[in-house]
Structure 1
Amino acid sequence: MFAARYDGTVPVKTTFNPKSLIRKRRHQEVEVEVGEDEDDEEREQQRSEKSSSEAEKNEDFGMEDVIEHDDIIENEQVKITAEIQAETPSENDETFSSKHASVFKRFTSSVHRRQQDGSQDDIPISDDEGVEASVLGPIPQPALPKDTKLMTSTTRTLDWLAEPQYSKVETMKPFAKLEPPIDAGIVKTLEKEFGISDAFSVQISVIETLLADQKKNILSPIPRGDLLVNAATGSGKTLAYCVPIVQALKNRRVPSIRAVILVPTRPLITQVYSTLLKLTKGIDLNIMAFKNEVSVKDEAEKLVAISGRPDIVISTPGRVVEHIQQNHMDLSQLRYLVVDEADRLLNQSFQNWCDILISEIDRASAQENISQRWRLKCTKMIFSATLTTDSGKLSHLKLFNPRLLVVNSSEGLVKELYQMPHTLEEMYFRIHASLNFYKPLVLLRFLTDFGSGDFTKAGLVFAKSNESAIRLARLLGIVAEEFGIPTKVASVNSTLSNSERQKIFKAFANGDIDILVSTDVLARGMSLDTIRLVVNYDLPLSTKEYIHRVGRTARANQAGVGLSIVVGDGEFKWFKKVVYGGAVINRNNKSVTEIAVVRNLEESEAQPRFALDLTSEDKARYEKCLLALEKEVFQR
């Protein structure tokens, strides 16, 4: 009855266990029975009848079969135990004594101890009495050493890069007396085309330095080093690098790209291009400006042409990168790389322009062997009124033996890398937040009533966006007409084409436009010498933008005023942060003047002062102008 429960393939354990021995014996009996002669049919039939009768009994009696089964197992255990005891060798057996005496002795003693202490089932699995409990935790570690405080690499000085060479702002010198001398033809061109004969301080420093390098390189190709120039806006930086480049290339035989000038905006491209066209009159040099109006394919045809290949290229960094990646530009003959408005260009990561351009220059120069071919190393010239001191940004330029030229009124102002024109007067006035709605009217009142009242001519007003500039220009025109103020207002912004902007600039320079409303598109590099007043209608977003905005006036040693309109306490806090952005601005020992806003000039003795008293009639007429502007907008 137990044969069906076991499989002959299952391994049999040899542990001393009565039940297992019973199963083993049953299993052996089954194997013996299976192996017997098959002709013994009667024995098989009896076993089958016995199994059938037992199965019928199990079905009929249920629990009685279980009890009978347990009794059978108990009898078998007793029987097996007796057999084991009979087969166990006695102590007198020599084999027992020699091989197993010690083992059975320990087994016997163990059995006696368990019988004395109780049954095996009562023995606890583990006993924690007398064992000290402990809580698992991390293994104690030695104290870690403290790191030293990391120092930032950003400083407010470039002394770590090069020893500054100072030049005073007031210094002037005739172009004809510079040493080494400038070509006589270039001096005549400066007098005829530009109407100037004296060089400003930055022009003296840069031109004399580069001409001295050119003279030394006649006998030796050893590179002299790159230039970093920190000078105020309007100090003449464009001519400072154009004159030495033209003099170095005027005798070239085969046209090839020998100078690349990078600027941040399209208007600045036009300005530099116009300057070079005037300066190269009578000199066989090809000047090319990359413009968005011309396709890359058309520009590439001129770059690879043999006869019309440019000598000087003016562009923004993005367009230069496009031509380099398409193998349109051969920079193997490059002698000068100019980065104008460097702080803005280095902040731009468009197409990773700096690394691509510098790597291409290095690759082209590495192909030449100085022992086999006379070739001059490319000189990099970095110009800005707000020269960055960030070592991370400057490192992308891979400067070689850099020389730092600082145009400053005092050598003691080492850390002031933001330069203000020394003829600039900075002013501001504050109005209550409740007058913000009438801010355009307040601006016109100031232009007509403050001082001599001639600020209605040649004024540049900065707004925060293209939409603001367009709206403000039209509203100022309507208000001026309503209040009888003879002022012509126009706006210029990035939505206009280059030709449209040039027409507006020309009209403004000729006096056909009195007030020009602009965005920051004009805040970099544009040279309009007729500007006498710059107004920050909307405050700039940074100190750098403030420097470049007010730097549109007081150019070329002419007088100029930079005015900021501050509304409410919130804007005043921001204005102080922008204008007094740390000890980094050189104001040439001048301060920012506050204009007192009063109702009546006779009631206040503050100097300077501005009388502002808007009557109910003034406010009503202004609101009428707003309705007229709204009507124009919706009629479109």
Structure 2
Amino acid sequence: MASKRKLKELEKDEPVPKAVPSYTDDEDSSDDDVAANGATNGAADVDMPDADKVAIDPKYATFYKRFQVAASHIPLSGASADTQPDAEETEEAVPVEEQQQDNSLASQLKRKEEQVVPADLVPLPLPTRKQTIEGGADDTAAPRLSKKRAAELAAIPKWLAEPTHVATETRVPFADLAGLSPRMREILTKLDYKEAFAVQAAVLPALLEGVNSIAPDVRPDILVNAATGSGKTLAYSIPIIDALASRVVPRVRALVLLPTRPLIQQVAGVLQSLAKGTGLNLLTLGAERTFRDEQRLVSSLQPDIIVATPGRLVDHIRSQTPGFTLAHLQYLVVDEADRLLNQSYQEWAEVVIAAIETTTVSAPDYQPVYARWQRTVQKLIFSATLTRDPEKMAALRIRRPQVYVVGGGATADASVAANDRLEFSVPPTLTERLVSVRNASVKPLRLLQILLHAAEPITDYVLVFVKSNEAAARLARLLTLIDEQVFHRGLVIERCSGEVDPQQRRRTLQAFAAGKINVLVCTDLIARGVDISQIRHVFNYDLPPGRREYVHRVGRTARAGQPGTAWTLATDHNEHKYFWNAIGDRIFRENGRAVERVHEAELIEPEGTREYYRQEDGYKIALEQLGTEVTTKKTE
């Protein structure tokens, strides 16, 4: 007890220290330093009352002093010093009554708290509900995106989400394009190529710029989204041939990847026509030859350009075909990229890119620097519906990309929603019609009635797309029987589907291109592989699975600026709803064009007439004949 009483007396007699150590981790700093420097590191100046002027128990004075110092270092949110009025102005503006208010500690702390502005809680400005785009059009007219789709598009890299837009009507004479060699100008003139289309006018200057350069600088990769028939093949074939025409030693310097064999033949034909007289060796790799025959050709021919399917190319890489190497590759072209990236084809992207990056030309360190120079591979990605999925694009390891979208004009809105529509577009010269068929059971008859009852009968170069191989075989035969029983036009109708032998498919396509076949019933197998300029009418007998397939189907016509018509047959309410929601309203069309609505009554004989019933009766006989043929075939 005595010791406690003595301790209280000592605490009572002990004077309050004037300098209290700062409440900080820095042992060298003190309150004297803070007061002398007048620095609070941007902290708010908290006017705490002095311990001597406030009735505080002396034994708590030390802790209160520490609290004062610590509080002076705490920054308080508020308006900046630049926006605060001067101290003198503030004092003049304070009424006398407020100056005489209570100066107690609680009152001062309350006033300080009221001055704090919670800046972090100020809401961000929200966009208005309706925003207009150039030309005054209401943005609400664009199709609405689901939350999931909007999130996916928001994750797209900026270089892919904000491409360079090129107007479809752009035309530039080949004579005005800088960088073309005199030999190439002469070849183009002989082939009757006078003007470069939009995709060529946009891409050729970027590619021709580096044709004559030998510097090993990284060249930008080119990504192009352009409608079918817009001239993409010529856009990459011209600079490749011009760049390789002066080569001395044959090496694989250009590699073109395509999804189907018909496309391989088509692209190879364009490359050969441009390379005439250069001595360049071109080799196609597909299923038309055995794998061992291709290996012998690679070793003996020493190709400069290879056009191949991804699967067969992967086979040669993994089998280490003698003489086959990508060490000297300069150009990697991925045509119809959306289909190739959507389908793995033995994980071709990873295999090919790894082969390109690991098989580099090596040289001893003592050789000159130029002996180890190697130009980086430039990737040229083309598609009518170019994917903007970052995960799929990552497999190609794009570098310094330049993205071009042909369609919508050079001043098209580059917003996420607009680019989502521009990803799927149709040629500007295409006329689209949706035909309403009341009864699905008479669709084959209605198809022929549309063909033959038109003001100018449609009897040549007609493509009809169906959903399956079985449907193609059935419809092709039924249309032939209907023509024999009802119309007597002698139409030649054939099918081209997956179950047909590849050699037979090739002969069928050649006959169709020559005009020997009037109507070709096919599946999506050749939706990307037919390039016949005479095609003027494409029919979607069965609705396509989605807008991507629709764009490629109707892209078989209206190619290279020529006119064309796409007909889609829809029966019940569900098919109409599906067409508008999944296809019709989600595809970009220039100049405000829209799909025309047509009713079957406008295209067939009036119901109730003698001719109407004659055609109906003939159709029933054709159905019975088809049934008999199918039954007979099954019993054999």
Q: TM-score, normalised to structure 2's length?
A: 0.70
1:297 matched residue in structure 2: 292
Q: Residues of 1 paired with 2:209 and 2:604: CA distance?
A: 53
Letter paired with 1:320:
L
2:472 touches 2:523 (CA, 8 Å); kept in 1? yes
1:428 and 2:434 correspond: yes
1:231 matched residue in structure 2: 226
Letter paired with 2:330:
R
CA deviation after TM superposition for structure 1 residue 201, in Å: 1.1
CA deviation after TM superposition for structure 1 residue 502, in Å: 2.9
1:162 touches 1:402 (CA, 8 Å); kept in 2? no
2:335 aligned to which of 312, 335, 340: 340
1:531 touches 1:553 (CA, 8 Å); kept in 2? yes
1:489 touches 1:517 (CA, 8 Å); kept in 2? yes
Letter paired with 2:357:
D
Secondary structure of 2:178's partner? coil
Q: Residues of 2 paired with 1:374 and 1:612: CA distance?
A: 75
C-alpha distance after superposition, 1:333-382 (max 9, x if no partner):
00000001111110112311111111111112385796642311000000
1:547 aligned to which of 540, 544, 551: 551
2:49 matched residue in structure 1: none
C-alpha distance after superposition, 1:71-115 (max 9, x if no partner):
xxxxxxxxxxxxxxxxxxxxxxxxxxxxxxxxxxxxxxxxxxxxx
2:246 matched residue in structure 1: 251
1:412 and 2:412 correspond: yes
1:517 matched residue in structure 2: 521
2:45 matched residue in structure 1: none
Q: 1:624 to 1:166 in 2, by over 3 A?
A: same
Q: TM-score, normalised to structure 1's length?
A: 0.70
Q: Residues of 2 paired with 1:429 and 1:345: CA distance?
A: 33
C-alpha distance after superposition, 1:35-59 (max 9, x if no partner):
xxxxxxxxxxxxxxxxxxxxxxxxx
Q: Residues of 2 paired with 1:191 and 1:499: CA distance?
A: 34
Secondary structure of 1:338's partner? strand
2:461 touches 2:534 (CA, 8 Å); kept in 1? yes
CA deviation after TM superposition for structure 1 residue 158, in Å: 5.9
Q: 1:209-288 to 2 correspondence within 5 Å? A: 209-215=206-212, 217-218=213-214, 220-288=215-283
Would you say how many aligned residue pairs link Structure 1 and Structure 2? 469
2:607 matched residue in structure 1: 613
Q: 1:629 to 1:498 in 2, by over 3 A?
A: same
2:624 matched residue in structure 1: 627
In angstroms, what is the RMSD of aligned CA positions?
Answer: 2.3
Letter paired with 1:562:
A
Letter paired with 2:186:
K
1:596 aligned to which of 595, 599, 610: 599
2:451 aligned to which of 433, 443, 447: 447
Q: Residues of 1 paired with 2:453 and 2:349: CA distance?
A: 49
Q: 1:529-548 to 2 correspondence within 5 Å? A: 529-548=533-552
Secondary structure of 2:561's partner? coil
2:389 matched residue in structure 1: 390
1:478 and 2:481 correspond: yes
Q: Residues of 1 paired with 2:577 and 2:459: CA distance?
A: 29
Secondary structure of 2:577's partner? helix
Residue range with higher mean Cα deviation, 495-504 or 167-176 = 495-504
CA deviation after TM superposition for structure 1 residue 224, in Å: 2.2
Secondary structure of 2:360's partner? helix
Q: 1:6-17 to 2 correspondence within 5 Å? A: none
Residue range with higher mean Cα deviation, 518-527 or 530-539 = 518-527
Q: 1:251 to 1:498 in 2, by over 3 A?
A: farther
1:187 and 2:185 correspond: yes
C-alpha distance after superposition, 1:512-533 (max 9, x if no partner):
2111111111211421111000
1:74 matched residue in structure 2: none
2:446 touches 2:600 (CA, 8 Å); kept in 1? no
CA deviation after TM superposition for structure 1 residue 153, in Å: 4.4
2:128 matched residue in structure 1: none
Secondary structure of 1:483's partner? helix
Secondary structure of 1:223's partner? coil
1:456 aligned to which of 456, 459, 464: 459
1:491 aligned to which of 491, 495, 510: 495
1:508 touches 1:514 (CA, 8 Å); kept in 2? yes
1:303 touches 1:310 (CA, 8 Å); kept in 2? yes
Secondary structure of 2:534's partner? coil
Q: 1:90-169 to 2 correspondence within 5 Å? A: 152-155=151-154, 159-161=158-160, 163-169=162-168
Secondary structure of 2:592's partner? coil
CA deviation after TM superposition for structure 1 residue 429, in Å: 1.2
Q: Residues of 1 paired with 2:159 and 2:177: CA distance?
A: 30
Q: Residues of 1 paired with 2:591 and 2:279: CA distance?
A: 42
CA deviation after TM superposition for structure 1 residue 407, in Å: 1.2
Secondary structure of 1:351's partner? coil
CA deviation after TM superposition for structure 1 residue 505, in Å: 2.1
Q: Residues of 2 paired with 1:159 and 1:222: CA distance?
A: 24
1:539 touches 1:564 (CA, 8 Å); kept in 2? yes
Q: 1:627 to 1:404 in 2, by over 3 A?
A: same
Deviation beyond 6 Å, 4+ runs, structure 1:
none
CA deviation after TM superposition for structure 1 residue 610, in Å: 5.9
Secondary structure of 1:350's partner? coil
Residue range with higher mean Cα deviation, 335-344 or 586-595 = 586-595
1:566 and 2:570 correspond: yes
1:9 matched residue in structure 2: none
1:175 matched residue in structure 2: 174
Q: Residues of 2 paired with 1:156 and 1:564: CA distance?
A: 34
Secondary structure of 1:517's partner? strand
1:379 matched residue in structure 2: 378
CA deviation after TM superposition for structure 1 residue 616, in Å: 4.0
Letter paired with 1:395:
A
Residue range with higher mean Cα deviation, 381-390 or 360-369 = 360-369
Q: 1:304-319 to 2 correspondence within 5 Å? A: 304-305=299-300, 308-319=301-312
**Structure 2: runs of 5 or more not aligned:** 1-146
1:197 and 2:194 correspond: yes
Q: 1:597 to 1:495 in 2, by over 3 A?
A: closer
Amino-acid identity (%)? 39
1:62 matched residue in structure 2: none
Q: Residues of 1 paired with 2:605 and 2:554: CA distance?
A: 24
1:365 and 2:360 correspond: yes
C-alpha distance after superposition, 1:280-327 (max 9, x if no partner):
22120111111213122221122233xx11111111111111111111
Structure number with bigger Rg: 1
CA deviation after TM superposition for structure 1 residue 577, in Å: 2.4
Residue range with higher mean Cα deviation, 251-260 or 404-413 = 404-413
1:597 touches 1:611 (CA, 8 Å); kept in 2? no
CA deviation after TM superposition for structure 1 residue 166, in Å: 2.5
1:341 touches 1:525 (CA, 8 Å); kept in 2? no
CA deviation after TM superposition for structure 1 residue 155, in Å: 4.4
Secondary structure of 2:211's partner? helix
